[in-house]
């Protein structure tokens, strides 16, 4: 167990990415500035009852009105000059994200050219720490509205959230270039007073499939007891489940997957599972991974021998399987994977086991035949084999014997007597 900004959270806590349950907690349209020198302060336009706050900057404002619109503007952004919001919450909240419209200039010769990043930092009373990722600013996204994820749980208390510039061109501030924001929405969840739990589920296919599956959460107490949602492979948002009114300290919750495609093996949290006991006032993560099962490709070798001369044919052929993906026990020749064997007799076969973890494989097969008088036909051309799939083909060698008929020992004896008889007749005639 560990503490995260005042809340006791299970070791499997997660940081949400755009949760489905998030609400707007506090909002500024910045149309009500109170300017004192180069500092502007704004009361929120709307806020939930448990949160109060204000927006301001350390210096180098004040707010500016562009036409009919007022923006929260800071010049010489960085070093000591930052825009920030301060807020107090009387109840625990899950602070998810900030969404705002941003304006900035990037003139040649300034540290802002061609672009720079902004980072959010949160101070919970012991100094600022980075939260969430970076937002890159350039002329290309001037005036855009973007969301910056925060994803932290906050206990009741007072907090400050500020923007700082990073990766400026040879400077720690923007010089006289401005950074301005408008229509700022702070989104998240108010944590319930009673016992609760929240579960975040993400889905990954080893071959990057985007197929949909159903995920189900079942708990032995709390409300609701069972919830089901659909999620796609590779969906970075995932799905959330919230259970409230948990009773006692032995609540058990389990997440399972159903209705997924065939040909995959499912693992939960890399084998640790998505089942928890003692669920209470915490947030839990479940990553479901579907790993594509190996595929198989079988080549069967048939012989068709005519005119009863099978004892004069050696039923041996060297067969090779070629695949684009790794073959178990195979050899990589720099272009594709191969598996070879010498097959003896009619009906012999060679089977390759091929990895499809990263996607379908393309396979084919051929033989090397050194005997003369053998005709070969097959259906072993290139084919695609998907996760856990199988395919087969047949190579048939046909042999025809059409030589000069021969006599056995009795026939040879009769032939000799006939020739002898013909010889005696000829001798008597010409003697």
Q: Strands 157-166 and 212-219, how do they pair?
A: unpaired
pLDDT at residue 17, as a whole number = 31
Secondary element (H or E) of residue 430: helix 409-430
Phi-psi domain of 93 (left: phi exceeds 0; alpha: psi -120 through 50; beta: other): beta
CATH topology match: 2-190 vs 196-291: no
Which CATH fold topology does 295-399 show?
Immunoglobulin-like (2.60.40)
Has this prediction a pTM greater than 0.75? no
Cα–Cα nearest to 160, from 107, 52, 96, 84: 84
pLDDT at residue 429, as a whole number = 52
Tell me the average confidence (pLDDT) per consecutive run of 10 residues in the chain, 431 residues long.
32 33 87 96 93 95 93 96 96 90 97 98 94 96 95 89 97 96 93 79 94 96 93 87 86 95 96 94 90 97 75 84 97 96 94 97 90 86 97 92 54 63 55 55
pLDDT at residue 8, as a whole number = 32
Residue 107 to residues 64, 328, 332: CA-CA distances in angstroms? 20, 58, 54
Output the CATH code of domain 196-291.
2.60.40
Residue 312 to residues 38, 252, 316, 399, 401: CA-CA distances in angstroms? 104, 73, 12, 10, 10
> Which DSSP string corresponds to 113-132?
SSEEEEEEEEESSS-EEEEE
Q: Where are the domains of the chain?
A: 2-190, 196-291, 295-399
SS3 412: helix
For residues 298 and 340, what is the distance between their CA atoms, to the nearest angstrom?
12
Cα–Cα nearest to 78, from 111, 108, 42, 124: 111
Which CATH fold topology does 2-190 show?
Jelly Rolls (2.60.120)
282: number of CA atoms within 13 Å, CB side?
21
For residues 268 and 249, what is the distance between their CA atoms, to the nearest angstrom?
24
What is the tally of helices (H) and strands (E) in the chain? Answer: 1, 33
Residue 247 to residues 135, 223, 226, 278, 281: CA-CA distances in angstroms? 42, 10, 16, 10, 11
For residues 129 and 119, what is the distance between their CA atoms, to the nearest angstrom?
10
């Amino acid at each position: 167990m560990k503490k995260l900004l005042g809340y006791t959270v299970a070791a499997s806590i997660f940081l949400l990415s755009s949760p489905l349950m998030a609400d707007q907690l506090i909002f500024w349209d910045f149309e009500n500035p109170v300017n004192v020198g180069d500092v502007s302060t704004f009361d929120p336009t709307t806020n939930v009852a448990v949160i109060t706050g204000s927006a301001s900057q350390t210096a180098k404002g004040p707010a500016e009105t562009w036409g009919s619109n007022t923006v929260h503007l800071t010049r010489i952004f960085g070093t000591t000059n930052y825009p920030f919001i301060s807020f107090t919450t009387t109840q625990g909240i899950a602070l998810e994200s900030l969404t705002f419209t941003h304006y900035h200039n990037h003139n040649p010769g300034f540290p802002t050219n061609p672009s720079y990043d902004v980072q959010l930092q949160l101070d919970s009373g012991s100094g600022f720490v980075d939260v969430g990722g970076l937002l890159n600013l350039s002329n290309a996204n001037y005036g855009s509205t973007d969301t910056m994820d925060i994803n932290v749980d906050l206990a009741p208390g007072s907090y400050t959230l500020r923007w700082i510039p990073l990766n400026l061109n040879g400077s720690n501030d923007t010089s006289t270039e401005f950074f301005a924001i408008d229509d700022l929405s702070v989104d998240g969840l108010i944590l319930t007073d009673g016992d609760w739990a929240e579960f975040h589920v993400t889905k990954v296919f080893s071959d990057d499939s985007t197929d949909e599956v159903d995920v189900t959460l079942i708990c032995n107490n709390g409300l609701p007891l069972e919830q089901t949602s659909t999620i796609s492979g590779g969906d970075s948002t995932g799905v959330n489940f919230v259970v409230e009114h948990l009773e006692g300290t032995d609540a058990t919750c389990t997440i399972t997957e159903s209705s997924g495609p065939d040909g995959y093996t499912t693992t939960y949290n890399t084998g640790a599972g998505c089942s928890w006991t003692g669920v209470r006032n915490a947030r839990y993560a479940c990553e479901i991974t579907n790993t594509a099962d190996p595929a198989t490709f079988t080549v069967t070798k048939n012989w068709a021998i005519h005119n009863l001369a099978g004892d004069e044919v050696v039923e041996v052929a060297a067969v090779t399987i070629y695949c684009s993906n790794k073959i178990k026990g195979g050899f990589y020749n720099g272009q594709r994977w191969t598996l070879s064997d010498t097959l003896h007799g009619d009906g012999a076969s060679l089977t390759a086991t091929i990895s499809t973890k990263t996607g379908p494989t393309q396979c084919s097969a051929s033989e090397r035949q050194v005997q003369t008088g053998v005709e070969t036909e097959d259906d072993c051309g290139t084919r695609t084999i998907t996760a856990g799939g199988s395919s087969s083909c047949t190579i048939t060698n046909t042999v025809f014997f059409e030589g000069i008929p021969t006599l056995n020992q009795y026939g040879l004896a009769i032939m000799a007597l006939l020739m002898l008889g013909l010889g005696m007749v000829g001798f008597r005639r010409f003697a």
